[in-house]
Amino acid sequence: MSTELSRDSDSRATTKPYQTSRKGGVSVKPQWKSHVVPLVVLAGVVQIACMLYLSRASVSEREVKYLSEREVLSRHEFDEVFEKYKKAKEDAENNQVRMVARGVVMGEIERHSADGIGRVDYALASGGGRVTRHSKASGGVWFSGIGWNGIHVDSVKMLRPSFGEPGDCFALSGSSGFVEIKLRRAIVPEAVTLEHVAKSVAYSRSSAPKDCMVSGWFRGREMDSDAAEKKFPLAKFTYDLEKSNAQTFNVSEPAGLGIVDMIRLDFTSNYGSACHTCIYRFRVHGHKPDSSIPVAKRF
């Protein structure tokens, strides 16, 4: 028999389920236990699986150890479940890293779609900005004529998004020159961005402007012949070929500045070209003024 029966003093039969009988010198396990143990094992697996499912990243090593000591699973079975737990935890951590990385990438995509640097450009040609005066334009392959107002037709290139194509710029003669720009509206200036062709696609970058100065003033609707007397400095900087092709420079003491609607970019040197200097794009950043901010005056 699979169980051992005994009689007590009241002649009642009792069952001793944990005892075993021996047949031919071989220990025989109780038959009913062979059915109950898989159920207990299954219950343990379900318990751990539920814990991992509900909180893969939060199950502690102590909790897992507790389960292992309850002898619910065999050592081999427990090791398999524990390996699955560790993999699930690693996957959860990797998913978190991927989520962070995805956020960074999406932020960069959004910033690039927002005109590359994510700041309003008040000199943008499609928004109303325009070149009103400039030094002599370069001839040769860049020459395409002077307009009726004396402004080179290529000047608009420096006030529109650049797609990084070599030669798609406004080229001015020599290693020094200037450009004056009427903004789409009066603003309180905060920064300017100068852009040249990227190193990865450039044939040569010797035509990049190097030492630059930006000034501004308020002209309004009237064409003031004394405007040059009212210019004041906004920023002085050096365009660095070893940095990003689009470099932003903050204006000096922006809190003390008034309203401007005219900007002048002067460059006094470039990176080696004697015949021309190329401006791929120039942007002006700032914010709309309130009524308490005065019109800009010369310092």
pLDDT tens digits, one per residue of 70-115: 555 566 666 776 777 677 767 777 777 677 666 766 665 555 545 6
pTM > 0.75: no
Q: Is residue 278 very low, low, confident or very high in pLDDT (cuts 50, 70, 90)?
A: very high
Position 77 scores a pLDDT of 64
- Among 82-96, 143-157, 196-210, 256-270, the range scoring the smallest mean pLDDT is 82-96
Looking at the predicted structure, is the pLDDT value of residue 233 above 50? yes
Alpha-carbon gap, residue 57 to 90, rounded angstroms? 8
125-287, CATH topology level: Jelly Rolls (2.60.120)
Does 297 have pLDDT greater than 70? no
pLDDT band at 16 (very low <50, low <70, confident <90, very high): very low
Joined tokens for residue 112: 């690039």
Average pLDDT estimate for 255-279: 90
Q: What is the model's pLDDT at position 68? A: 55
d(C-alpha 84, C-alpha 78), whole Å: 10
- Mean pLDDT in the chain? 74
- Pairing mode, if any, of strands 177-195 and 260-267? antiparallel
Q: State residue 32's pLDDT score.
A: 41
Most confident of 64-73, 115-124, 169-178: 169-178
Write down the domain spans for the chain.
Answer: 32-113, 125-287
* Predicted local confidence at residue 232, as pLDDT: 87
Q: What percentage of the chain has pLDDT greater than the value 70?
A: 56
Q: Tell me if 189 sits within 8 A of 216, measured CB to CB.
A: yes
- Give the C-alpha separation, 41 to 33, whole Å: 12
